[in-house]
Amino acid sequence: MDPANFVHLHLHTSYSLLDSSIRHSALFKRAQEFGMPAVAMTDHGNMFGVVEFYNAARKHG
């Protein structure tokens, strides 16, 4: 499989306590470095990071 076609559809961010420490800006920077066309955010039990995730996605293209 071409790595550029791989998309994480189960990914926690710093808003899922004890599961991840990655911040949205770092997430999109790494996704760009790996040539990933998209990422998903699947934090546990909350939607606190949605606006920040959306804004970071728009900023990083």
How many CA atoms within 13 Å lie on the side-chain side of 4? 2
Domain map of the chain by residue range? 6-60
Summarize pLDDT for 9-60 with one digit per residue, the tens.
999 999 998 889 999 999 999 998 988 889 999 999 999 999 999 999 999 8
Q: How many residues does the chain have?
A: 61
Q: Do the beta carbons of residue 41 and residue 13 sit within 8 Å? A: yes
- Whether the predicted pLDDT of 4 surpasses 80: no
Q: pLDDT at position 3, please? A: 64
Quickly tell me which residue has 């760009």 as its tokens: 32
Q: What's this model's pTM, rounded to 2 decimal places?
A: 0.81
pLDDT at 1: 61
